[in-house]
């Protein structure tokens, strides 16, 4: 099986500033992850290996830094999304799942769940929304609310890694 590589602007063709500009947003509002990968010499042109290197930085970070990463994620269908304040990647991902087209009842449920979830766990609900619709996301939201806090922390990090991997795959396919 062929290994997925970056079509244009591969990591090896970039200097540190270019690498950070291109890959610093793979993890939401957390360019420190791309910086650590670059500084460790792990800026590979292979998508899977770059994803693994970035995930290893997060997994090796202190819990406080991991929590900071989780808190950098926006609420799903939240006020920031409705006001246009999301990053381009988050805007595209949420729109792809139809979160920009919530009915008033769905929006109310997302608002209620976002508040309750953040109060319970201390960070926003995070799920890789690609391939999911609003109802599937709400079902996962409701189901995960009952998780023990430590399990949910690990699940949130796993979802963050999945989001980052999907973003890297999209960058690998980009023509720009």
- Whether the CB-CB separation of 145 and 156 falls below 8 Å is answered with no
CA dist 118 and 161 (Å) reads: 20
Spatial separation of the C-alpha atoms in residues 121 and 141, rounded to whole Å: 13
pLDDT in single tens digits along all 176 residues of the chain: 557 888 777 898 999 999 999 999 999 999 999 999 999 999 999 999 999 999 999 999 999 999 999 999 987 765 545 555 556 666 666 666 666 777 888 888 988 999 999 999 999 999 998 888 888 999 999 999 999 999 999 999 999 999 999 999 999 988 65
Rounded distance between C-alpha atoms, residue 57 and residue 176, angstroms: 27
What is the per-residue pLDDT for 153?
98
Residue 129 tokens read as: 């929304």
B/e letters for 58-83, b = 16+ CB within 10 Å, e = fewer, are: beebeeeebbebbebbbbbbbeebee
pLDDT of 80: 46
- What is the number of H-type helices and E-type strands within the chain? 9, 0
Domains of the chain: 11-67 (no CATH), 73-169 (1.10.3330.10)
Which residues are catalytically annotated?
73
């Amino acid at each position: 099986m062929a290994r997925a590589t970056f079509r244009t602007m591969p990591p090896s063709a970039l200097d540190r500033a270019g690498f950070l500009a291109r890959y610093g947003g793979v993890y939401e509002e957390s360019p420190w992850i791309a910086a650590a990968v670059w500084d460790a010499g792990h800026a590979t042109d292979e998508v899977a290996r770059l994803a693994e290197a970035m995930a290893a930085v997060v997994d090796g970070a202190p819990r406080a830094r991991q929590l900071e990463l989780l808190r950098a994620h926006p609420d799903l269908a939240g006020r920031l999304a409705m006001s246009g304040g999301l990053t381009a990647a988050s805007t595209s991902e949420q729109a792809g799942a139809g979160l920009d087209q919530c009915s008033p009842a769905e929006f109310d449920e997302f608002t209620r769940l976002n508040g309750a979830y953040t109060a319970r766990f201390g960070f926003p609900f995070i799920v890789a929304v690609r391939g999911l619709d609003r109802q599937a996301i709400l079902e996962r939201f409701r189901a995960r609310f009952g998780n023990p806090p430590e399990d949910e922390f690990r699940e949130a990090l796993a979802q963050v890694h999945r989001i980052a991997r999907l973003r890297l795959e999209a960058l690998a396919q980009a023509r720009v």
